[in-house]
């Protein structure tokens, strides 16, 4: 019985990245032997155990055989005869198929170390095509690793195109698509996720509403990048810079301009009313992928209100208060903060504008703080109740916003 550290823990240490969860492969063991040592079983599809002291995962070495479509269509075989190399061979990318033994020695039967040095994401072998989820995983890994200089091996991209053309991605469950999307949006460079999926044809399958934005022109005086799809890539990367790791902000950044794909051709490159037009495709996307409620709420808010936010300097205090109400900001101040970040990412996510200031965001947060400072007890001295108290509280909050921002009531 031998134990090896495998996968992301080895890869990230070699790349100098912060360590994450550690996963181990056990060769030459049986489930009974693991139980006898105090390990707790947790695997449903194959034997995985938790260490009795550390809680870390230890999986028995296994092989997989394709028996059906999709990422679940596999039969797993795990017994003491399965070798480490056989276990590593079923993995997705060479940089994830490096193992480290108990002495610290590295075992690399599929060339992961040279690929780490060359900054190449490459599939391990022909079995890559058996799991369509690996198309999304490749794109998601690039969203994380592109800042380190990683690119996709041409042979891997060719396999991904074959998988898409064969219709394999239609078998992916919404939950797994969303999981990969959310992780990509929380990565340092989400544009690499979009770019990779588009390069292999997968973006049109899993995110057709986003794919439709590519090639749609915008007015060059406002958007030097012109192409709306390129703009979305810039906005997503800016959101990742402004709100690192926040996939709620990232999702709103991704979807805030979906309405531009619906602009009639004879109106282009203007996009009058694209904010409202974008709500229908956004809601369809959210329903299809079962997007969590807070992601959806912020995305709808950003889609509908981002142009209002850009014109913040023109708004009166009454209008600012109404915007805060539409944000549900007094109950959910974090949503206001995120909304301001999405709008800032939109404004700075344009070619040549990455370092622009966005005072509108600071002004909105100042307005929120002013409104929050007014409490019901402060305006209830005259025995006001019910609607009369609510109206007085609203007037006091609008006055506080006016005083804090210098705006007319």
- Written as one string, the DSSP assignment of 266-307 is TTTT--TTHHHHTHHHHHHHHHHHT--HHHHHHHHHHHHHHH
Q: Is 98 inside any structural domain?
A: yes
| Domain hosting residue 29, numbered range | 1-120
pLDDT of residue 208: 98
Per-residue DSSP letter, 29? -
357-377 CB burial, b ≥16 within 10 A, e <16: ebebbebbeebbebbeebeee
Residue 110 dihedral angles phi and psi, to the nearest 5°: -120, 15
E strands, 143-252, are 151-152
Q: 248-262, 281-295, 382-396: which range is least confident on average?
A: 382-396
In whole angstroms, what is the distance from residue 137 CA to residue 150 CA? Answer: 14
Per-residue DSSP letter, 72? T
pLDDT tens sequence across 94-129: 999 999 999 999 999 999 999 999 999 999 999 899
In whole angstroms, what is the distance from residue 143 CA to residue 121 CA? Answer: 12
Q: Is 358 inside any structural domain?
A: no
Q: What's the average model confidence in pLDDT over 303-308?
A: 98
Q: 49-63, 213-227, 369-383: which range is least confident on average?
A: 369-383
pLDDT of residue 361: 97
Q: Is 347 inside any structural domain?
A: no
Q: Is 260 inside any structural domain?
A: no
Compute the mean pLDDT over every residue in the chain, rounded to the nearest whole number.
Answer: 93
Give the strand pairing for 151-152 and 120-121: parallel
pLDDT of residue 382: 62
What is the distance of C-alpha 83 from the center of its chain?
35
CB 26 within 8 A of CB 60: yes
Going 25 to 160 to 135 to 106, the CA torsion angle's sign is: positive
Tokens 């170390």 locate to 113
Q: 16-20, 275-279, 334-338: which range is least confident on average?
A: 16-20
CA distances to 230, 234, 343, 349 from 357, in Å: 21, 16, 12, 12
Q: Evaluate if residue 8 carries a pLDDT over 70.
A: yes
Q: Is 275 inside any structural domain?
A: no
Per-residue DSSP letter, 19? P
Q: Is 25 inside any structural domain?
A: yes
What is the percentage of the chain residues whose pLDDT exceeds 90? 82
CB 275 within 8 A of CB 303: yes
What is the percentage of the chain residues whose pLDDT exceeds 70? 94
Find the CATH number of the domain harbouring 50. Answer: 3.30.460.10
- Give the DSSP H or E segment for 59: strand 57-60
pLDDT of residue 326: 97
How many independent structural domains does the chain possess? 1
What is the distance of C-alpha 392 from the center of its chain?
42
Q: Evaluate if residue 212 carries a pLDDT over 60.
A: yes
Tokens 């009531």 locate to 409
Q: Evaluate if residue 352 carries a pLDDT over 60.
A: yes
pLDDT of residue 68: 52
In whole angstroms, what is the distance from residue 305 CA to residue 298 CA? Answer: 10
How does residue 65 score in pLDDT terms, banded at 50, 70 and 90? low
Q: Evaluate if residue 152 carries a pLDDT over 90.
A: yes
pLDDT of residue 47: 85
pLDDT of residue 62: 86
How does residue 384 score in pLDDT terms, banded at 50, 70 and 90? low
Q: Is 381 inside any structural domain?
A: no
How does residue 64 score in pLDDT terms, banded at 50, 70 and 90? low
CA distances to 195, 204, 308, 368 from 214, in Å: 11, 11, 25, 36
How does residue 18 score in pLDDT terms, banded at 50, 70 and 90? confident
Q: What's the average model confidence in pLDDT over 69-73?
A: 51
In whole angstroms, what is the distance from residue 291 CA to residue 293 CA? Answer: 7
Burial degree of 295 (CB within 10 A; 0-12, 13-18, 19+): buried
Write the DSSP assignment of 97-116 as a string of letters. Answer: --EE-TTS-EE-TT-HHHHH
Q: Is 32 inside any structural domain?
A: yes
């Amino acid at each position: 019985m031998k134990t090896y550290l495998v996968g992301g823990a080895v890869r990230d240490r070699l790349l100098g990245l912060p360590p994450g969860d550690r996963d181990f492969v056990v060769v030459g063991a049986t489930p009974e032997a693991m139980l006898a040592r105090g390990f707790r079983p947790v695997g449903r599809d194959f034997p995985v155990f938790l260490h009795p002291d550390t809680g870390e995962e230890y999986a028995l070495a296994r092989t997989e055989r394709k028996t059906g479509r999709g990422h679940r269509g596999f039969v797993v075989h795990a017994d003491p005869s399965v070798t480490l190399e056989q276990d590593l061979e079923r993995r997705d990318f060479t940089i994830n198929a490096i193992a480290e033994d108990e002495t610290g020695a590295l075992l690399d039967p599929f060339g992961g170390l040279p690929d780490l040095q060359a900054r190449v994401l490459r599939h391990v072998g022909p079995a890559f095509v058996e799991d369509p989820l690996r198309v999304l995983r490749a794109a998601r890994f690039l969203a994380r690793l592109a800042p380190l200089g990683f690119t996709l091996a041409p042979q891997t991209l060719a396999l991904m195109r074959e998988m898409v053309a064969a219709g394999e991605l239609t078998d992916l469950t919404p939950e797994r698509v969303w999981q990969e999307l959310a992780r990509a949006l929380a990565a340092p460079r989400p544009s690499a996720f979009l770019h990779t999926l588009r390069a292999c044809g997968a973006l049109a399958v899993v995110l057709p509403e986003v794919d439709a934005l590519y090639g749609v022109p915008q007015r060059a005086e406002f958007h030097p990048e012109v192409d709306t799809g390129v703009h979305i890539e810039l906005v997503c990367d800016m959101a990742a810079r402004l709100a690192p790791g926040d996939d709620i902000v990232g999702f709103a950044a991704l979807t805030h301009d979906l309405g531009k794909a619906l602009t009639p051709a004879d109106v282009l490159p203007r996009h009058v009313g694209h904010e409202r037009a974008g709500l229908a495709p956004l809601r369809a996307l959210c329903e299809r992928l079962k997007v969590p409620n807070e992601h959806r709420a912020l995305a709808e808010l950003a889609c509908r209100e981002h142009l209002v936010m850009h014109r913040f300097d023109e708004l009166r205090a009454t209008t600012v208060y109404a915007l805060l109400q539409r944000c549900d900001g007094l109950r959910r101040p974090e949503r206001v903060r995120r909304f301001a970040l999405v709008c800032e990412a939109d404004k700075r996510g344009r070619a040549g504008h990455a370092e622009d200031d966005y005072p509108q965001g600071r002004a909105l947060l100042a307005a929120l703080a002013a409104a929050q400072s007014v409490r019901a007890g402060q305006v209830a001295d005259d025995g006001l109740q019910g609607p009369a108290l609510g109206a007085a509280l609203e007037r006091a909050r609008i006055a506080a916003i006016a005083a804090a921002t210098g705006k007319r009531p």
